[in-house]
Amino acid sequence: MRARSVLIALFADIHANRQAFEACLAAARAAGADQIALLGDYVGYGADPEWAVDTVMELVDAGATAVLGNHDAAIDDPSDHMNAEAEIAIEWTRGELGAGGRKFLHALPLTFQAGNRLHVHADASAPRRFRYVLDSAAAARSLMATAAGITCCGHTHRPALYTLSATGKVTSFTPSTNVAIQLLPTRQWLAVIGSVGQPRDGNPAASYALFDTERLELTYRRTPYDIEAAADRIRSKGLPHRLADRLFVGR
C-alpha cells in the first residue's frame, strides 16, 4: 500500500514577530499542512518573545517538532557573540521570558531526524557552532557531514536550495515562490527555508516552506503581514529602532 502523503510546514527564524508568525501559521493551515516543523530562533529582535515561545510550546505539545537556534541558546549563554543590536534584544528578552519558557528553550535539541530528513538551525557539520550556510562551499560541508537525503535549516534569513550529486558537485538555486521543486532521491539536498520574522533577501514578506513527503516536493512560500504593527511593537518596547525599520525592506 502506498504511504499517505504528509504536508509539513517548515518555519525558521520567527524572532518574536507575532504578526509574521500568525500570518504564516494561518497560511500554512489554509494550504492543508498536516504537520509543523520549527527550525529555531523563536526569540531575539522582535517584541513578543513570551508569546512566541508559548506558541511554539503549544505547537510541540500538539505534535510539532522543534530544534534550538542560536538566539534561543543565547538566553542561557551570554557568551554567544552577537552584534550590539542583537545583544540588546536578547538581554531584554531574558527579562520577558518566564521560567517555563526558559526551561523549554534550554531543553531543545540541536537536531531532529525523521527518516531521511534532518532538521537543524544552521550548518549540520557542527550544529552547536551555528555557522551560516551562505554559499556552495558551506553547503557542501553541511551536506557531507550527514547521510540524510534532505537537510532543512534556517539561520541565514534568505531562502536558498543546494544539491549534492553523487560525484560531489554542489549546485545552488534561488528558489521561486510557489513553485514546487522535486527533491530527487538520487541527490542530497539542503533547503535553507528563510525567515518568518526578519527576512533579509530584499523581500519583506514572511518566508516559510511546505514539504510533501510522498511527492518529495518542496515549495517556498511568502506571506504578507502587518509590518507596521510589528514595527510599532518593537519601538514601544524600547528596542533599537533599526530592528523595526529593517522589517519594511527585508534586509
Q: Could you state, in chain order, the average pLDDT of each consecutive group of 10 residues for the chain (251 residues)?
A: 81 98 98 98 98 98 98 86 90 96 98 96 97 96 96 98 91 95 95 98 98 97 98 98 97 93
What confidence score (pLDDT) does residue 145 get?
A: 95
Q: What angle do CA 68, 73, 77 make, to 5 degrees?
A: 165
Put the strands of the sheet holding 65-66 in their side by side order: 65-66, 35-38, 7-11, 206-212, 217-223, 181-182
For cell 557531507, name the residue: 144
- pLDDT in the model for residue 78: 72
pLDDT at 1: 44
Per-residue DSSP letter, 155: S
Instruction: Name which of 27, 1, 16 is nearest 209 in CA terms.
Output: 27
- Residue 183: what pLDDT? 96
* Helix 227-236 × helix 18-30 angle, to 10°: 150
3-state secondary structure of 223: strand
Residue 2: per-residue pLDDT: 54
* Model confidence, pTM: 0.95
What are φ and ψ of residue 72, in 5° steps?
-65, -45
User: Is 7-113+177-183+194-248 assigned to CATH 3.60.21.10?
Assistant: yes
